[in-house]
């Protein structure tokens, strides 16, 4: 649907690179982050700007394959290729890169990346219990010490609390927009959702981002059901991170007649689940909330099934599609358990799609998706 506030948001975020460069010129530090496990709040409390660095484009993969295995996940290769080519303005602007030891491919890539940028590697525990949370808090404390030293600042508890208040507001504003897709028919397409979340992750001014998101939620929220086009099967997309440039599956689903109403990944809905208690010890709260994320690197990973159940009910889902990048072993192996849960517990149709960033399999994927949607009809 036409939306003036969304058009304004797109116009503002088209200037994200320029806005970041202006902030750098004014003396702001930039903290690049590759994963949802890296806390935005610590960078903000240091007076810095956190920006997302995950590679979502195919262009840089050929360069990465001169050093990395071809069978590696395209997200890792794309991310590293940007460093080799010096073609990502957000990475170029980063004074330090914060990375998390999630999958094996990523943590070994970070060793190579350290030759191009200063890297602070957080050793992510891969179980979600009290001992792991205490250890993870220690990793966050080490990050605080590193940023204090590198940026010559003091990160106090009050600064961390202020940062938590700010990110809580940002995530609530984003959630209010994403939750508009609970309506039937949804006023947002899957591509709208992806583009909006992707663009927001590069905005240096959080207050401006909150105001723009509030305007979008208010304007689209006024739409009446009869003003919206009829929709096809409502799809919950789960699995690996996506972005503009790695959006082909979302685009194909909607081209074939489906409606992607919820995207359960690090780019989109996972972000809004990180609501913090503003009254607890900040580092303990940050450690526990971030550690609770339902990524497939966790073993076991029970929260993923809880989230799938909740989202499938809230968004009135007709089917679940699990997107896996080629070479992503954790999500690929976990897909069998997700399929079993979706079919037997949620009683919903399920499709796993394994692909990469290239367009070589587009027609093949289209045939599979069309057949899946015909089955739903």
* pLDDT 10s digits, 113-129: 999 999 999 999 999 99
pLDDT of residue 311 exceeding 70: yes
In the structure, what pLDDT confidence band is assigned to residue 377 with cuts at 50, 70 and 90? confident
pLDDT of residue 1 exceeding 70: no
Average pLDDT over residues 205-221: 97
In the structure, what pLDDT confidence band is assigned to residue 229 with cuts at 50, 70 and 90? confident
pLDDT of residue 108 exceeding 80: yes
Max intra-chain CA distance, the chain = 61
Summary mean pLDDT of the chain: 97
321-374 pLDDT per residue, tens: 999 999 999 999 999 999 999 999 999 999 999 999 999 999 999 999 999 999
Give the whole-angstrom CA distance, residue 270 versus residue 110: 23
CA angle at 320 for the pair 59 and 349, rounded to the nearest 5° = 135
What is residue 188's predicted lDDT score, i.e. its pLDDT?
A: 96
Average pLDDT over residues 309-318: 98
Average pLDDT over residues 233-254: 98
Average pLDDT over residues 145-157: 98
Overall pTM surpassing 0.85 (yes/no): yes
Tokens of 197: 């979340």
For 185: left if phi > 0, alpha if psi spans -120 to 50, otherwise beta; the answer is beta
What is residue 226's predicted lDDT score, i.e. its pLDDT?
A: 81
Give the whole-angstrom CA distance, residue 213 versus residue 13: 12
Domains of the chain: 19-158 (3.40.50.11890)
What is residue 345's predicted lDDT score, i.e. its pLDDT?
A: 98
Those residues whose C-beta lies under 8 Å from the C-beta of residue 73, and which sit 6 or more positions away, are: 103, 105, 240, 325, 326, 327, 328
What is residue 26's predicted lDDT score, i.e. its pLDDT?
A: 97
What is residue 129's predicted lDDT score, i.e. its pLDDT?
A: 97
Q: What does DSSP assign to residue 225?
A: G
């Amino acid at each position: 649907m036409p939306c003036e506030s969304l058009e304004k948001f797109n116009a503002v975020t088209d200037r994200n690179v320029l806005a970041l460069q202006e902030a750098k010129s004014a003396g702001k530090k930039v903290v690049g982050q590759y994963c949802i496990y890296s806390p935005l709040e610590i960078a903000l409390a240091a007076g810095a700007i956190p920006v997302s660095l995950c590679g979502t484009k195919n262009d840089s993969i050929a360069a990465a394959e001169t050093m990395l295995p071809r069978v590696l996940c395209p997200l890792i290769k794309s991310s590293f290729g940007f460093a080799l080519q010096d073609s990502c303005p957000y990475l170029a602007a980063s004074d330090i890169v914060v990375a998390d030891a999630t999958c094996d491919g990523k943590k070994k890539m970070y060793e190579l990346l350290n030759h191009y940028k200063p890297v602070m590697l957080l050793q992510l525990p891969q179980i979600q219990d009290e001992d792991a949370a205490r250890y993870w808090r220690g990793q966050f404390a080490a990050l605080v010490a590193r940023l204090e030293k590198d940026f010559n600042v003091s990160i106090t508890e009050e600064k961390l609390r202020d940062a938590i208040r700010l990110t809580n507001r940002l995530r609530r504003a984003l959630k209010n927009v994403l939750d508009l897709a609970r309506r039937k028919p949804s006023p947002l397409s899957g591509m709208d959702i992806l583009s909006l979340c992707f663009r927001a992750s590069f905005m240096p001014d959080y207050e401006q981002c909150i105001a723009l998101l509030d305007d979008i939620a208010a304007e689209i929220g006024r739409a009446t059901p009869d003003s919206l086009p009829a929709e096809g099967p409502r799809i919950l997309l789960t699995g690996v991170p996506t972005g503009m440039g790695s959006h082909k599956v979302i685009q194909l689903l909607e081209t074939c007649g489906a409606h992607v109403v919820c995207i359960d990944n690090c780019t989109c809905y996972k972000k809004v689940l990180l609501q913090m208690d503003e009254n607890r010890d900040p580092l303990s709260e940050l450690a526990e909330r971030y550690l609770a994320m339902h990524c497939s690197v966790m073993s076991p990973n029970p929260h993923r099934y809880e989230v799938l159940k909740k989202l499938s009910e809230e968004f009135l889902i007709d089917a679940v599609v699990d997107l896996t990048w080629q070479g992503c072993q954790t999500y690929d192996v976990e897909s069998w358990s997700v399929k079993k849960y979706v079919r037997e517990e949620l009683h919903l149709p399920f499709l796993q799609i394994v692909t990469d960033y290239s367009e070589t399999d587009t027609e093949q994927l289209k045939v599979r998706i069309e057949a899946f949607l015909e089955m739903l009809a």
